[in-house]
């Protein structure tokens, strides 16, 4: 480095490093220590309990592998993250149909667009936060041409101990405003598998957004049965409050439903499934009957799912509705445990309950006046 300072010409310094150098557990298991939470410094073992449930990433990897057995046109693309995106088994089973383009997300997307023009079914698996790098390519090379590229958007939402740079809290906002793009998020692992079937049958750009962490523990069945694009589902019925949730927030909405029932507040809970296209017919019908609405998403509020719902209600001229949008405020989410961060930013059952109670109080005040 001191010699380089004295050179008056362009210089390239290539340093060949060893991942985990100096810490034996990391040297022996570099993949695990690439992104790790709290661990015992003496042993290198995680201090968190082991989970018997698989992660959403693992379910994605297993499902896409099964689908690839039936359709040789399915190919997988990732940007130096085969382990992180769950594609190791795919790469081993189908080395000629797996493409790791290195840390070059822009190239990954344009490369996938080229594959799509030749009749392949490319699945681009990239973390939400890194997909931001390829926004121009998504817009011009995929959406403008309406090409059938599947975006498997991993680590959508709060990722916690991966750190502030890895929180995937902008994707619903930056993807839903692109023409030709379909954006969806599953409530559980079975819906993730079904959405993969949906995406591979779709004739245009489509994104599936799923979180970091373990699944809900439901049985995966009928994964080859596609989800109807643009259609949500009513999970619980009530007359006082309408809770519209997307993705992993659906489970918190269902917990809130139980708590609200104990407080004599009945809530309708909808798994909206799609941020684009929204199920405008379902939302409009319910909002006319239940004009007290809570939207829940693990995404920034600006331009996200809640904003899409408000646009939908305004476009349909739904009169007199009251709405509480639960999501990430205008800030960058810091490093920390997922549960703690969700509580801090109000994206959990207790805050959904509080939002519903505020809406009910507003109705009482309005009636008194």
pLDDT at 48 over 70: no
pLDDT per position as a tens digit, 285-334: 999 999 999 999 999 999 999 999 999 999 999 999 999 999 999 999 99
In whole angstroms, what separates CA 225 from the centre of its chain? 21
Structural domains counted in the chain: 2
| In contact, 369 and 362? CB cutoff 8 Å | no
Give the CATH number of the domain where residue 125 resides. Answer: 3.40.50.970
Q: Hey, which residues are catalytic here?
A: 19, 105, 133
Q: Tell me, yes or no, whether 153 and 185 share the same domain.
A: yes
Q: What's this model's pTM, rounded to 2 decimal places? A: 0.90
The crossing angle, in degrees rounded to 10, of helices 280-289 and 305-315 is 70
Judgement on whether residues 204 and 73 belong to the same structural domain of the protein: yes
Neighbours of 337 (CB within 10 A): 14
Provide the domain limits for residue 324.
233-367
Taking Cα atoms as reference points, which of 268, 299, 283, 156 lies closest to residue 231? 283
137-194 pLDDT, tens digit each:
999 999 999 999 999 999 999 998 889 999 999 999 999 999 999 999 999 999 999 9
In a domain, 142, yes or no: yes
pLDDT recorded at residue 368: 55
Indicate whether 200 and 239 sit together in one domain: no
As given in the structure block, the two tokens for residue 154 are 């991993």
Of the pLDDT bands very low, low, confident and very high (cuts 50, 70, 90), residue 24 is confident
| Contact present, 282 and 253 (Cβ < 8 Å) | no
Averaged pLDDT of the chain: 94
Helix (H) or strand (E) holding 313: helix 305-315
Q: How far apart are CA 94 and CA 57, in angstroms?
A: 18
> DSSP for 323-368?
EEEEEE-SS---SS-HHHHHHHTT-SHHHHHHHHHHHHHHHHHHHH
Q: Read off the tokens for 351.
A: 């805050």
Shared domain check, 198 and 243? no
Residues 200, 343: one domain? no
3-state secondary structure of 58: helix
One domain, residues 84 and 144: yes
SS3 category, 271: strand
Q: Tens of pLDDT along 74-127?
A: 999 999 999 999 999 999 999 999 999 999 999 999 999 999 999 999 999 999
Count other C-beta atoms under 10 Å from residue 6's C-beta: 6
Q: Residue 353, class by beta-carbon neighbours within 10 Å (0-12 exposed, 13-18 middle, 19+ buried)?
A: buried
More confident position, 367 or 311: 311
- pLDDT at position 362 over 80: no
Closest CA to 339 of 330, 329, 351: 351
Do the domain assignments include residue 166? Answer: yes
List pLDDT tens digits, range 251-295. Answer: 999 999 999 999 999 999 999 999 999 999 999 999 999 999 999
């Amino acid at each position: 480095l001191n010699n380089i300072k004295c050179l008056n010409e362009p210089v390239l310094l290539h340093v060949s490093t060893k991942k985990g150098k100096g810490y034996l557990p990391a040297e022996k298991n570099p993949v695990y220590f690439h992104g790790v939470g709290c661990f015992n410094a003496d042993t290198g073992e995680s201090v968190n309990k082991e989970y018997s449930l698989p992660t959403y990433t693992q379910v994605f990897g297993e499902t896409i592998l099964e689908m690839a057995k039936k359709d040789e046109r399915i190919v997988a693309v990732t940007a130096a993250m085969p382990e992180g995106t769950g594609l190791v088994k795919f790469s081993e089973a189908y080395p000629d149909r797996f493409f790791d383009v290195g840390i070059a997300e822009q190239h990954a997307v344009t490369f996938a667009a080229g594959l799509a023009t030749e009749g392949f079914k490319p699945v681009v698996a990239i973390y939400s936060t890194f997909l931001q790098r390829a926004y121009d390519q998504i817009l011009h090379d995929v959406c403008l041409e309406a090409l059938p590229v599947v975006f498997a958007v991993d680590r959508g939402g709060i990722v916690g101990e991966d750190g502030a740079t890895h929180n995937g809290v902008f994707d619903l906002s930056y993807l839903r405003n692109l023409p030709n793009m379909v954006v969806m998020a599953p409530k559980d692992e079975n819906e993730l598998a079904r959405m993969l079937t949906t995406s591979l049958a779709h004739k245009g750009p489509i994104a599936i957004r799923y979180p970091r962490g373990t699944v809900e523990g439901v049985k995966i069945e009928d994964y080859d049965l596609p989800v109807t694009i643009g259609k949500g589902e009513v999970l619980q019925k009530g007359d006082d409050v309408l809770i519209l949730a997307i993705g992993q927030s659906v489970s918190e909405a269902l917990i809130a439903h139980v708590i609200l029932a104990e407080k004599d507040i009945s809530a309708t809970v909808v798994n909206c499934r799609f941020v684009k296209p929204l199920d405008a017919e379902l939302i409009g019908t319910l909002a006319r009957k239940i004009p007290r609405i809570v939207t829940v998403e693990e995404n920034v509020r600006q331009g996200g799912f809640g904003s899409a719902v408000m646009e939908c209600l305004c476009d349909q001229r739904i009169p007199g509705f009251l709405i509480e949008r639960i999501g990430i405020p205008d800030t960058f989410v810091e490093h920390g445990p997922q549960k703690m961060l969700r509580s801090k930013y109000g994206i959990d059952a207790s805050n959904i309950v509080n939002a519903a109670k505020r809406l009910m109080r507003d109705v009482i005040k309005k009636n008194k006046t």
